[in-house]
Amino acid sequence: MISCEKVRRLLPLHAGGDIGGRQEHAIDDHLSQCLGCYRVFQEHLEGVTSLKVSREHSDPGPEFWQAFEDDVMSRARESVAVTSSPATWRLSAHRPLLAAAASFLLALTVWFAFEPESSKPLSKADRPPVAISHIVPIYEGGESTGLERVSASGRRSVSTREEGELMRLMRQLDYPSGADDIRQLERMQTEYHSEIDDGIFR
Amino acid sequence: MSGSETLARRGAGGQAREPVPSESLERTASDTDLIRRVQEGHEDSFRELVRRYQKRAYWLAYNVVNDSEEARDVAQEAFLRVFKSADRFDYRRSFYTWFYRIVVNLAIDHLRKRSVSRKVPLEDLAEMEGSERRPEARLQDGELGQEILDVLSGLPEKYRTVIVLRDIEELSCQEIGLIIRCSHATVRWRLHQARKLFREHWARMKRRKGVVEK
């Protein structure tokens, strides 16, 4: 039988129906025989059920939504008035030929006045660098606790602390430690979640 | 004046309008068709998108920011972002994923801007019982909804976002990954942590409430 420790680790996902396959049946079997784990499961279930129930908000009424819609439309019209030619919508909606002719003349003017940048082919040297990410291992006290993904533009894409938390958990689950590249980390993540999902990814 | 005339005819009483042929077309159009028509400057298409998604946008924002006024601001701002950046919509992706991402990002921005003094510590939740009801409480079915939102407010934003999208909005982990730009594995990890934290905070709130009632 699956251990209490392992079952309790999986209960948050199980309570929301996020574990499938044999693993789900194994947890259910355990819960039917272990009162302690069943009580913890009930607590998780209460939380998830409460969240689902909270979706049933009482509707504030048609006036609220009508005012909401009117505000959005009004603000959108204002933004059109500020950022482009006045009353673009009115022209396009009610004087389509005039709007089309005006747009065509405007486009011609712009075309002849300024050659679009997009029409000039970029030389290889001018092209932006390909965004190849590289990985920087993070060490705390001589131990690898996470990985930092850095894009070619220097932007981080993953929370190092969170990856560190995941790695620490995986170590508790007897996964190998000391991962030093992203492929290794992703393989470990996949294995960890495969264990949860029993191979079923949704 | 035609735009304002349309609004005036509809009135503020929330009465349904007589259907007109052009609106029927909008109502049967797909999201992608609507966004394409918004790019072409069709007001009715944008209005239809607002009608389709205003409730989802508002409640999603509300569940994240836990404030009716802020939720309204966030949802309206999200629609304006859609309007202004419709040209940048990627037709290979679904509209709602793009739109939800805008709502979530704006809601998180609001949370970050909110002053620390406005945060409600979990320890104070029980004491709020019996205090003056806030406007959003009127929008909820009883106290349960408000208790849940207050407990959610105590979660870190990255966990709150995932648990709201999964357990309240009922999106799949795959969809959530697209919205918050995380891997499927990271979404599940955050969901695992979020539910664990929610259970702990929920139990703590219940215990404190029980002490106050006694």
Contact status of B212 with chain A (Cβ, < 8 Å): no
Which residues, numbered 140 to 199 in chain B, qualify as contacts with chain A under a Cβ-Cβ cut-off of 8 Å? 140-141, 144-145, 148-149, 158, 163, 166-170, 172-174, 183-186, 188-196, 198-199
What is the predicted ipTM? 0.71
User: Would you state the structure tokens that stand for residue B86, as one six-digit string?
Assistant: 């419709």
Smallest Cα distance from B204 to chain A, Å: 12
- pLDDT over threshold 80, residue B62: yes
Tell me if A51 and B198 make a contact (CB, 8 A cut-off): yes
Q: Give the C-alpha separation, B86 to A84, whole Å.
A: 15
Measured CA to CA, the distance from residue B166 to residue B176 in angstroms comes to 7
Residues A38-66 as b or e (16 or more Cβ within 10 Å = b) = eebbeebbebbebbeebeebeebeeebbb
User: Which one, of B67, B45, B191, B82, lies nearest residue A11 by Cα?
Assistant: B191
Mean pLDDT of B182-192: 90
How much is the pTM?
Answer: 0.60
Q: Does A168 touch chain B (CB under 8 A)?
A: no
Q: Do the chains contact at B191 and A166, CB–CB below 8 Å?
A: no
pLDDT for B91 equals 87
Backbone angles phi, psi at A156, to 5 degrees: -80, 145
Q: A171-185, B151-165, B178-192: which range is least confident on average?
A: A171-185
Highest mean pLDDT pick, A18-27, A164-173, B78-87, B121-130: B78-87
State the pLDDT confidence band at A63, using cuts at 50, 70 and 90. very high
Q: How many residues does chain B have?
A: 214
CA distance B77 to B75: 5
Chain A residues 96-135 with a CB less than 8 Å from chain B? 99
Interface of B with A in 92-151 (CB under 8 A): 139-141, 144-145, 148-149
